[in-house]
Structure 1
Amino acid sequence: MKGIILTDENPDKIAVKEVDLGDLGADEVKVRIHAAALNHRDQWCREGRYPNIKNGIILGSDGAGEVVEVGAEVSPIWLGKQVIMNAAMGWGTYQKAQSSDFKIMGMPTHGTLAQYVHIKADRLMIKPDHLNMEEAAGLPLAGVTAYRALFYHGQVSPGDKVLITGFGGGVSQLAAQIALKAGAVVFVTSGIKKKLQVAYQYGVEEGFIYHDPDWADQAKKASGGFDLIVDSAVGDTLDTLIPLLIPGGKLVVYGATLGNPSKVDMRRVFWNQITIQGTTMGSDEDFKKMVEYVNVHKITPIIDSVYPLADAVQAFDKMKEGTQMGKIIIRLL
């Protein structure tokens, strides 16, 4: 079968090659992948910016497909089911944080950017009926990250004023949709005005261009302050975000694309009783609840573009540019 592997054999650092998955484990199923979604971690692996990188590994953490074979210990009821996959492995039983055994499929183990994948049956969930395969492929990793940030850590409630930064990325666009369905008043930031227009179509109250030097003043005036901010950039924007929170507000961080902050106004943090909370993906419980929530509210991931397997490099290059509005999908069927 063909898969997109990490390699040092060419300047692109990825290649579509024939890969042998080996024997199917007794507790595993074989899924024929119809579509897989790119995440930033795939591009970071390509750039050598991710831990435990190994050449020859099939990249990809998100996918949707059909079960075509089951291991000896797996119920045959799974055969023919259309499924999505929870890429998180080894979270453990502690809901507050992942275990030391936690890892994500797609590095250092084979992932979803291939025509088939072997995966433990307990990682499967039935694909939501209202989603096609491309939409479903864009849900798992981003969906569980957004859900955990908003509900487990953010404890979002109806009427809360929520700011979600970087609208257009996989997590942020799903976080906006999920928060809106929870009854929150949602605001967003983006670097591109066209993305804000998309946000308004979903019911976002107001959006701000984060390149504008006075965007934070605009946001404070429009909102009066936020109960919750969900952010993935950090860097020196941290000291811009903290003053936007009301006393007792929460800042939930799921990434640090701009690196570490050079300073933090800790006096404001302790005086205003601000919570700064880190988060990453989610537990099996979070994943199950996220899929149930998506099913009930008919939430659909925004799809930016769909590429054939042969155009994998172009898809990765678009991820690198960071201009996408929603998920970048590679069709494998």
Structure 2
Amino acid sequence: MKAIVIKEIGGLENLEFKEVPQPEADPREVVVQLKFAGMNRRDVFVRQGQYPGVKYPSIPGSDGAGNIFAIGEGVTDFQIGDSVLINPALNWGDNPRYPSKEFSILGNPVDGTHAQFVKVPVENVYKKPDFLSLEEAAAIPLGALTAYRALFTRGKLQAGENVVIPGIGGGVATFLLQMAVANGANVYVTSSDDKKIEKAVKLGAKGGVNYRTSSNWRKELKSVIGNGVDLSIDTIGGDTFNELVSLANPGSRIVSFGATAGIVPNLLMPIVFLKQLDILGTTMGTPIEFKEMLEFYKKHEIHPVIDSVIPLQDIAKAHSLMEDGKQFGKIVLKIPE
């Protein structure tokens, strides 16, 4: 089969489109013939060696959708040809609060979805919702699972609350926006691009602020909201986190699952404890949350925002687009027949 292989840590030159052995289904496993696969920032980080335990050479990719190609012994819930999508969270374990020591994410160290075929445990495969195309189904797994847990399990989002999503534009941020709007929240965003804010408003955001052109984006955003914030979902860290603390209403929540701007400097802890804030960490989600996320998508018929569809063999273009951060929504890879 054809696949993308990361030869070693480094730049785009380490991405190879090459022939590799096709996987076979062991007991309680299935092999999926992929039609589309999603791109995540994780794929860039894997190439750059920013995760512990990464191995090379390896096939990246966490998100994918396609048809069941082969079934291992003991698999009874699926038939050859079923259209499915993949939950990339492997071996979460029994505790819903945090993953087990055996937890990993498809795409390194386990070979992933940027290939014509992938094998996964049967419990990580779900039938594709009828209202989603295979292209759309491939876009949602990692990002939508992360967003669902952040909003509902950790963030305890309620209808009518004010929600802030800084840095709108990436895949997870658009999932957060769509799900929060579907749940009746008042969503506000920030971005360095006015066009991204306009797109967010079209998806249901109440408004937003350009943090690059504003002299004081926190003050401006608070004026737009007209009140404080009940829930912030932060993937940025750095100085942005301090601004979210200042924006927070007493007794509100900040959920974090990223720190693209690095460490949080000079956090004023008295603001945190005097406001009685809950600061919550999260990553990925449980199998139950994955199922709940799919049901939420079905109930509200949410279609993910897809920025672009790029042939798998043009993987360097997809990585470059992800690194530039100019996309709005998900980058999807089309897998060759």
TM range (shorter): over 0.9
In the alignment, the residues of structure 1 paired with residue 169 and residue 86 of structure 2 have an alpha-carbon distance, to the nearest angstrom, of 23
Match of 1:55 in 2: 56
1:1-333 matches, cutoff 5 A: 1-8=1-8, 12-75=13-76, 77-211=78-212, 212-223=214-225, 224-333=227-336
In the alignment, the residues of structure 1 paired with residue 331 and residue 128 of structure 2 have an alpha-carbon distance, to the nearest angstrom, of 19
1:76: Cα distance to partner?
A: 6.6
Number of residue pairs the alignment of both structures matches? 333
CA contact (8 A) 1:227 1:246 kept: yes
1:77: Cα distance to partner?
A: 3.5
Q: What's the TM-score, normalizing by structure 1?
A: 0.97
In the alignment, the residues of structure 1 paired with residue 33 and residue 125 of structure 2 have an alpha-carbon distance, to the nearest angstrom, of 13
1:262: Cα distance to partner?
A: 1.7
1:190: Cα distance to partner?
A: 1.3
- In structure 2, runs of 5+ residues without a counterpart are none
Q: What's the TM-score, normalizing by structure 2?
A: 0.96
In the alignment, the residues of structure 2 paired with residue 233 and residue 72 of structure 1 have an alpha-carbon distance, to the nearest angstrom, of 44
Pick closer, same or farther for the CA change 1:75–1:222 going to 2, 3 Å: same
Q: Which amino acid aligns with 1:63?
A: G
1:84: Cα distance to partner?
A: 0.6
- In structure 1, runs of 5+ residues without a counterpart are none
SS at match of 1:64: strand
In the alignment, the residues of structure 1 paired with residue 185 and residue 27 of structure 2 have an alpha-carbon distance, to the nearest angstrom, of 45
Deviations 1:148-177 (A, max 9, x none): 000001111110000111111111101000
1:11: Cα distance to partner?
A: 5.5
CA contact (8 A) 1:70 1:76 kept: no
In the alignment, the residues of structure 2 paired with residue 280 and residue 101 of structure 1 have an alpha-carbon distance, to the nearest angstrom, of 15
In the alignment, the residues of structure 2 paired with residue 262 and residue 154 of structure 1 have an alpha-carbon distance, to the nearest angstrom, of 24
1:22: Cα distance to partner?
A: 4.2
In the alignment, the residues of structure 2 paired with residue 121 and residue 58 of structure 1 have an alpha-carbon distance, to the nearest angstrom, of 20
In the alignment, the residues of structure 2 paired with residue 11 and residue 192 of structure 1 have an alpha-carbon distance, to the nearest angstrom, of 26
In the alignment, the residues of structure 2 paired with residue 310 and residue 77 of structure 1 have an alpha-carbon distance, to the nearest angstrom, of 30
Pick closer, same or farther for the CA change 1:247–1:105 going to 2, 3 Å: same
Aligned-CA RMSD value: 1.3
Deviations 1:214-254 (A, max 9, x none): 11101112221100000101112211110101000100001
- Runs of 4+ displaced beyond 3 Å: 8-11
Report % sequence identity. Answer: 40
In the alignment, the residues of structure 1 paired with residue 172 and residue 30 of structure 2 have an alpha-carbon distance, to the nearest angstrom, of 28
